[in-house]
Copies of this chain bind each other. A is one copy, B any other.
């Protein structure tokens, strides 16, 4: 590693794969040819070696500590991203139950999850925010949970729309299943209120190729033997994620990130506070720029992770992106399905990146407002 590499780095506001902690990248780099005491790269060692066993166990224990995961929940490290979970959730938890799965749609990813679920069994839109273009959460009294549902599915943070649940909806005894791909580990979460939480790693938790699943043990009983082996949660749980070769470098980097959260950040409560401070800097600019920066999400459900907004016209958006890039503020283009601007400020985005963007936004607005 040279100082130059660090100096070259931009502020990366990409929605995922996304920015990682510099100290984590530096450790990956330092040990890439030979893990200490191992004589081989993390990409070369067997997933059944004692060295990898230790890495795997450490990652699990740190995650369990960070989220205070109760003992009756299993941690699985899988592949295939959230997209495969969109199918695995209903294949395991709905098929054969004779029940209906309820989906709460607060954005594009929840809708994609439902599209896969309908192939696997009976589903219902418990709530759909489409009428206002996914800018809000269900209001009090709007959710009529079916107490006999197989599960209720939510997407805790919608990256495209920038809408985030503030707290869990109350689903009573019905298992709450949460796609937490884009806000995993951004704050403490009461795991015991969930039946299952899943997340692809490439936003807050590692490189793409790794998917983390936290599942309550009693739900594993729903997985039937007829399921394809790789798609069966119970098979993975019984084999501690080693039924097949997992994404070993993903688990390794995930472990380093959980250590960074514990030892450098100081835990998830502190992480949440930092995320709130960062998000506030940008939302304050939106609020102070009516008619120029138009935020998408309503203020009471604004995402801590993805700040989405539009400028008065596409030309200004283009100029905004181009000038930002020259200031080393990269990856700000909104999702291709909705356009506009999206600043993804995940855990690892440093405060300097956010203040740099904030300053640019103010300056750009002052220079272009009214044009």
CA A9 to CA B119, docked complex, whole Å? 49
Give every chain B residue within 8 A of A43 (Cβ-Cβ): 17, 20, 25, 28, 206-208, 253
- Least distance between A41 CB and chain B CB atoms (Å): 5
- Least distance between A88 CB and chain B CB atoms (Å): 8
A241-254 near B? 1/0 per residue, CB < 8 Å: 00111111110010
A266 lies within 8 A of chain B by Cβ: no
A19 lies within 8 A of chain B by Cβ: yes
| Identity of the chain B residue whose Cβ is nearest the Cβ of A10 in the assembled complex | B39
- Least distance between A22 CB and chain B CB atoms (Å): 8
A87 lies within 8 A of chain B by Cβ: yes
Tell me whether A14 and B79 are in contact (CB under 8 A). Answer: no
A81 lies within 8 A of chain B by Cβ: yes
CA A82 to CA B331, docked complex, whole Å? 34
A203-245 near B? 1/0 per residue, CB < 8 Å: 0001111100000000000000011111100000000000111
| Identity of the chain B residue whose Cβ is nearest the Cβ of A45 in the assembled complex | B17
Q: Of A29-37, A58-66, A270-278, which binds chain B?
A: A29-37
Which listed residue, B32, B83, B202, B243, touches A32 by the CB 8 Å rule? B32
Give every chain B residue within 8 A of A15 (Cβ-Cβ): 46
Tell me whether A87 and B33 are in contact (CB under 8 A). Answer: no
Tell me whether A25 and B32 are in contact (CB under 8 A). Answer: yes
Which listed residue, B20, B41, B247, touches A247 by the CB 8 Å rule? B247
| Identity of the chain B residue whose Cβ is nearest the Cβ of A26 in the assembled complex | B33
Considering only residues 37-90 of chain A, those with a C-beta below 8 Å from chain B are: 39-41, 43-49, 79-84, 86-87
| Identity of the chain B residue whose Cβ is nearest the Cβ of A32 in the assembled complex | B29
In the A-B complex, the 7 residue pairs with the closest CB atoms: A209-B247, A87-B228, A10-B39, A209-B209, A79-B79, A83-B244, A5-B33
A91 lies within 8 A of chain B by Cβ: yes
